[in-house]
Amino acid sequence: MTIDTAPLFQPLKLGNIVMANRMAMAPMTRQRAYLDGTPTAVVVEHYRQRASAGLIITEGIAPSQMGLAYLFAPGLWTDRHEAGWKMVADAVHEEGGHIFGQIMHSGRLTDELQLNGEQPFGPSAVQPDPTARHYTINCPRAKRVYQRPREMTHEEILGEIDAFRDCAVRAQRAGLDGVEIHAASGYLPMQFLSTNTNLREDEWGGTVEKRAAFLLACVDAMIDATSKEFVAVKFSPGWQFHNVFDDDPQATYSYATKELSKRGIAYLQLGNYGMDWDVYGTLRPLFDGPVGYVAGFTRSTGAKAIAEGGADFICYGQNYISNPDLAERYKNGWGLNKLDADTYYTQGEEGYTDYPFYADSNPDDLVDVDQPPTPIKVYAD
């Protein structure tokens, strides 16, 4: 069967940049930073290698200490962090690529061991299900049951909104092309959006409008400090990863998507993580701007989603871990490197910067160019 891959290789205007192709590298936490959250040289090299993606979206970057859940995960709230991210941005730009930083606040998912003994906080004092751990047991989070968080005060909520804003300003100074708020996967903005994690009765909880207020306040503060072209958002509507539930995800995300659309942000990244309702068909029409689809796409399904007029670009996750030159491979129909999930969260170069480019690979080691990625699970086996 001949596959028309041309839709993947058209340019796309997005915020302040023009993507050279419709392939984005999806944000992926890989824990190769220094313990203080500053990107290491190997992080710079990892992103440099992948600069032929139309857009790189970085791993989740914490905007404050309270938002940092994982050992060796990066942050962006100090001058040293900013200098590190500048090295990453410069490297990607030197190679002709573009890069958005994903701002990820873990809220209730962190641990006092990460917080110098402080109790984690979230919208409400709701402890995550003890089994709702990260989907690989290899993840360097404290290997113990999630703690019960304490409820954030109004002032603390305002403080974390300021942290998102300051992080966007630092990202701009570091030379990143934009920032994406991680409002998916059960992290803080999704904890506010979701009915089981947000039991508040003040202006930050209750109705859909109030549950969306934290996210929208972050978006507005970040736009105010940078520009609407600089800010983007990721949603995983209805996904129960990290033990978040929503009584009515269609209603919640329809409202939030329409509000984001009004603000004219750079793009919306939308994930359908195995929902039994039509996430893309429901939400895509509500957003007047570029939308990137994510989760489970291959070369051919990605090209098809664009050709059918739904997606403007496709975010590829795991296939970008194992193929630094994924765009060239998809364009030329070359086989893919095999993926090693055991090295997702290990330290150093292994499984990170040592996947070969096509020219250096052994043809016998390659798998089919249309190989789908491993399905992402809510719970580890």
Ligand X SMILES: Cc1cc2nc3c(=O)[nH]c(=O)nc-3n(C[C@H](O)[C@H](O)[C@H](O)COP(=O)(O)O)c2cc1C
Q: Which is nearer to ligand X, 110 or 185 (CB)?
A: 185
- Residue tagged 């020219």 (tokens): 359
Which of 47, 70, 135, 187 does the annotation list as catalytic?
187
Determine whether 267 is an active site residue.
Answer: no
Burial class (CB in 10 A: 0-12, 13-18, 19+), 196: middle
| 234 near ligand X, judged by CB under 6 A | yes
Q: Does 329 bind ligand X (CB under 6 A)?
A: no
- Interface with ligand X (CB under 6 A), residue from 318, 322, 323, 343: 318
The reply to whether 28 sits near ligand X by the rule CB under 6 A is: yes
| Min CB(59)–ligand X separation in Å | 5
Interaction between residue 376 and ligand X (CB under 6 A): yes
Question: Quick check: 26 binds ligand X (CB under 6 A)?
Answer: yes
Task: Choose which of 296, 302, 324, 351 interacts with ligand X (CB under 6 A).
Answer: 296
Q: How far is the CB of 256 from ligand X (least distance, A)?
A: 16
Instruction: Quote the least distance from Cβ 234 to ligand X, whole Å.
Output: 5
Q: Which residue, 291 or 295, is less far from ligand X as judged by CB?
A: 295
Considering only 59, 82, 246, 259, the residue that binds ligand X (CB under 6 A) is: 59
Asked if 27 touches ligand X (CB under 6 A), the answer is: yes
Q: Which residue has the tokens 């202006």?
A: 203
Which residue, 59 or 229, is less far from ligand X as judged by CB?
59
Binding segment toward ligand X, per CB under 6 A, in 1-9, 23-31, 48-56, 259-267:
23-31
Contact positions toward ligand X, by CB under 6 A?
A: 26-29, 59-60, 102, 104, 182, 184-185, 234, 271, 294-297, 316-319, 344, 373, 376
Catalytic positions are 187
